[in-house]
Amino acid sequence: MDAKVKDVMIECTRTSDEESVSFGDVVMQLIETGVERYHTDLVRGSKTYYLPNGESEVVAGDPLTIAAAAEFSAAGVAAAVKSIQGGKIQYKEFCRRIAQAGCVGYIVSVAGKRAVYYGRTGDSYVEWFPGARKEEAA
């Protein structure tokens, strides 16, 4: 994998954890770098970035300081998404809230224009990127 691509992945993880970049800015950087999707493991505090050619890179980040709830609440995740999109909370609070809603990780499909949040038993909630329609991503 190209060193510049890895640098962008590391930078996106670091600036997200530092709350100095928006989700939209991260997505734009990843699009420009050619990243197809990434997986955030909230429990481990890591992100795995994937390129279309199958290459991937795991980047360490900040793990949660609380345990995720045992039961998954799609409504709780949706409320946290709405709060961060509205600028009411930052990234760490967002992660704390989705964990309280039972989320243990999420996958962001840059190509599919959506994020899929999931719990311990595989329950999930899909959030489309603002302005994206299901038909556009299919």
In CATH terms, 3-137 corresponds, of 3.30.1810.10, 1.10.1020.10, 3.30.70.980, 3.10.20.30, to: 3.30.1810.10
CA distance 105 to 102: 9
Cα-Cα end-to-end distance for the chain: 28
45-54 long-range contacts (CB < 8 A, ≥24 apart) are: 47/9, 47/12, 47/13, 49/9, 51/1, 51/5
Given a cut of 90, whether residue 23 has pLDDT beyond it is: no
CA distance 1 to 26: 19
pLDDT digits (tens, 9 = 90+) for 40-88: 999 999 999 999 999 999 999 988 889 999 999 999 999 999 999 999 9
Name the nearest CA neighbour of 57 among 123, 119, 7.
7
Of 14-23, 35-44, 72-81, 96-105, which gets the smallest average pLDDT?
14-23
Judge contact between 100 and 92, C-beta under 8 A: no
Judge contact between 123 and 77, C-beta under 8 A: no
pLDDT category at 130 given cuts 50, 70, 90 is: confident
pTM: 0.90
pLDDT at 121: 95
- For the chain, which residues make up each domain, given as ranges? 3-137
pLDDT at 135: 53
* Secondary structure of residue 116 in the 3-state scheme: strand
Given a cut of 90, whether residue 93 has pLDDT beyond it is: yes
Name the nearest CA neighbour of 64 among 83, 46, 82.
46
